[in-house]
Structure 1
Amino acid sequence: MNFQTLTLITVLGLAGPWLAWRQSWHLPLILGELLAGIVFGTTGFGLLHPADPTFNFLADVGFAVVMFVAGTHVPVRDAAIRAALGRGAVRAAAVGVLAMLAGQAMAVWFDTGHGLLYAVLIASSSAAIVLPIIDSQGLGGKPVLELTAQVAIADAAAVVALPLVIDPGNAGRAAVGALLVAGAALLVYCFLHWVEESGIRHRLHTVSEDRKFALELRVSLALLFALGALATRSHVSIMLAGFALGLAVAAVGEPRRVAKQLFALSDGFLAPLFFVWLGARLNLREFGDHPYLILLGLALGAGAVLAHALMRCLGQPVPLGAIASAQIGVPVAAVTVGTQLHVLKPGEPAALMLGALVTIAAAAWGARSAARGTTDFARRG
């Protein structure tokens, strides 16, 4: 990898904002980045080589930061959300049951043997997508609080479950590694909580802001990389390390300055690089040899949307169910980890991403329906 390649990757990253420019479409930034990587990577012109060690390592760093930011988006400190946890948990569990049935059926139908993986994907939600949609549309009321709680529970549960189901043969080792990473994240939370309550963080923040030290960002990155090192040594994906640390930081309360610095670091460089790398790694040409996997991707997306929409039986408006079905972090993690472990069939990674795009399209429809007031959920409560 050289500066010419890095320039190309950075320029390709601009495809994300370009495609998402029209706000009414509710398209995520990563869509353009993925497509750009596909065009210039393995599927397309072949100018990007995802197996390059430097490119691969930078993508791993970006993956860790992306999952860290996703964890900080989970509203664990919101008292109103905690009050809605009961109904949110019931709906998340109900979606999980439906997802288990649908995932096993798809695994049998398409003869992949990945029923548990499909179940986790179908049941997952993405707080990193859903929360910005809620904010951008100004949605509120009790049903939206319940939706937020449901998404937070599903997001966290899916991230924990994914390492266990993607490689069932090593599930025991993955469980031990996950416990180690979770325990380390708990210790980090206790340390950060003590630093916050003792006033040490505030004093450091004052000096850091005055003298431009960026101490909080440096500490956050040091903790992230330390948990990432523990995860890799424990044979667990860095996905779990990043998300667990994000939850710990969210539980303490992420300082606004750190949030802005992380946004610049993540969305300005590392996240686009990771998603361009992921697109470059996907080989859509495999769909030509296995065209039935296109149907698998569509089925995964439709199954996720249907499972969440059926929560109408538990009182959730269909547009909110469509929004809840939005997923990106878990499918991305499944593709990343699955290809690294070589447990996915040719064409299957692209099918998983196709399913995620179907849910994003459904969430965009749900957001537009909510904004137009086709339901009354924003006025309830």
Structure 2
Amino acid sequence: MSFSTLALVLALGLVGPLLSWRASWHIPVIVGELLAGVVFGATGFGVLRPGDPIFSFLADMGFALVMFVAGTHVPVRDPAVRSALAVGALRAVLVGAFAAAAGFTLASWFDTGHGAMYAVLIASSSAALVLPIIDSQGLQGKSVLELTAQVAIADTACIVALPLVIDISQAGRATLGALAVAAGAVALFLVLRYLERSGLRRRAHEVSEERKFALELRVSLALLFALAALATRTQVSIMLAGFAGGLAVAGVGEPRRVARQLFAITEGFLGPLFFVWLGARLNLREFADQPRLILLGLALGVAAVLAHALMRLLGQPIGFGALAAAQIGVPVAAVTVGTQLHVLERGEAAALMLGALLTIAVAALAAAVAARSSHRGN
């Protein structure tokens, strides 16, 4: 990978903010980054070569950071959200039951054998997508707290479950690897909590701020990549390492300065690079050989929206159910890991992303409608 290629990748990453410029559209930045990668990658001009070892390694770093930031978005310390955990957990479990039925049905219809993976995808939510939408629309109230709890639980459970179901033949090894990464994350949480309670973190922060050492950022990155190394060594996805590390930091409380620094590195460099790389890996031309997979992608998106909308039976506003269906982290992980393990058939990766984009479009529309209803009510 050359500097000219790196400059092109970062320039293509600007397509994301351009498409998301109008806040009322609620288009996630990553949609534009993915589309730019598609146009300049395997589907389009073929300028970007995602198989390049340096490009792939930088993308893996970006993937770990994206999942780490997603983990820090889970509101594990918010007492208001904890009070809504019972209802949120019940809804997440029921969505999971509907998703299991739908996932195995679709796998049977399309003869892919990936029913368990589809079930996890359909049941998943994305805290990194849903929570910013809630904040931007100013949505409040008991239903919003229950929605937040439901999304946090579903996001966490599905990210943990995905490595176990994406390749059933390796589920035993994946379980052991996941347990090792989880143990590492627990150890990280305990160390961070000790540093916080003992006052060592604050004293280091004061020296670092005064002398421009950026110690907390350096330590955070070292610990994150140590977890990623553990995941690689135990042959599980760095997705789990990044998310588990983010949860550990969220459990202690992420310092605002570190959050801003990590945001800058992730959203300004490695995150866009990862999503452009991912788009470049997707080959939509495979749909020409497997047009039925277009229907699979649409069916996955519709099934996810319906499974979450069914929570109207438990009193959840249907718009909030549609918002909870928004997914991106788990489908992206399924595409990344599934492609690396060579368990997806031609065109299936593109189908998974098509389903995710459909849920995002429905969620954006549902959020806008919910916001207008809330403003009229006030």
The answer to whether the aligner puts 1:149 opposite 2:149 as a matched pair is yes
Specify the alignment match of 2:85 in structure 1: 85
SS at match of 1:119: helix
Task: State the superposition RMSD in angstroms.
Answer: 1.0
Which stretches of structure 1, 4 residues or longer, exceed 4 Å deviation after superposition? none
Instruction: Give the drift of 1:371.
Output: 1.0
Specify the alignment match of 1:160 in structure 2: 160
Specify the alignment match of 2:103 in structure 1: 103
SS at match of 1:283: coil
Instruction: Give the drift of 1:226.
Output: 0.3
Specify the alignment match of 2:268 in structure 1: 268
Instruction: Give the drift of 1:122.
Output: 0.2
Percent identity between the aligned chains? 72
> Where do residues 1-381 of structure 1 align in structure 2 (5 Å cutoff)?
1-373=1-373
The code of the aligned residue for 1:30 comes to I
The code of the aligned residue for 1:164 comes to L
Instruction: Give the drift of 1:375.
Output: 9.6
Alpha carbons of structure 1 residues 116 and 375: separation in structure 2 relative to 1, 3 Å? farther
Instruction: Give the drift of 1:253.
Output: 0.1
SS at match of 2:373: coil
Is the CA contact 1:317–1:375 (under 8 Å) kept in the aligned structure 2?
A: no
The code of the aligned residue for 2:95 comes to V
Is the CA contact 1:68–1:242 (under 8 Å) kept in the aligned structure 2?
A: yes
SS at match of 1:248: helix
Is the CA contact 1:123–1:158 (under 8 Å) kept in the aligned structure 2?
A: yes
Is the CA contact 2:67–2:329 (under 8 Å) kept in the aligned structure 1?
A: yes
Instruction: Give the drift of 1:7.
Output: 0.7
Measure the CA separation in 2 of the matches of 1:337 and 1:137. Answer: 33
Gap runs ≥5 in structure 1: none
Q: Deviations over 1:42-77 (max 9, x none)?
A: 000000000000000000000000000000000000
Measure the CA separation in 2 of the matches of 1:190 and 1:374. Answer: 41
TM-score when scaled to structure 2? 0.99
Instruction: Give the drift of 1:285.
Output: 0.3
Q: Deviations over 1:86-114 (max 9, x none)?
A: 00000000000000000000000000000
Measure the CA separation in 2 of the matches of 1:171 and 1:22. Answer: 43
The code of the aligned residue for 1:343 comes to V
Measure the CA separation in 2 of the matches of 1:260 and 1:127. Answer: 18
Is the CA contact 2:139–2:374 (under 8 Å) kept in the aligned structure 1?
A: no
TM-score when scaled to structure 1? 0.98
Measure the CA separation in 2 of the matches of 1:198 and 1:375. Answer: 45
Gap runs ≥5 in structure 2: none
Measure the CA separation in 1 of the matches of 2:212 and 2:147. Answer: 39
SS at match of 1:240: helix
Is the CA contact 1:369–1:375 (under 8 Å) kept in the aligned structure 2?
A: no
Measure the CA separation in 2 of the matches of 1:32 and 1:183. Answer: 36
Q: Deviations over 1:298-349 (max 9, x none)?
A: 0000000000001000010011001100000000000000000000000000
The code of the aligned residue for 1:206 comes to E
Instruction: Give the drift of 1:374.
Output: 6.7
Measure the CA separation in 1 of the matches of 2:345 and 2:316. Answer: 36
Q: Deviations over 1:146-191 (max 9, x none)?
A: 0000000000000000000001000000000000000010000000
Measure the CA separation in 1 of the matches of 2:209 and 2:130. Answer: 32
Alpha carbons of structure 1 residues 374 and 206: separation in structure 2 relative to 1, 3 Å? closer
Instruction: Give the drift of 1:234.
Output: 0.3
Aligned residues: 378
Measure the CA separation in 2 of the matches of 1:374 and 1:155. Answer: 26
Is the CA contact 2:74–2:127 (under 8 Å) kept in the aligned structure 1?
A: yes
Measure the CA separation in 2 of the matches of 1:167 and 1:223. Answer: 28
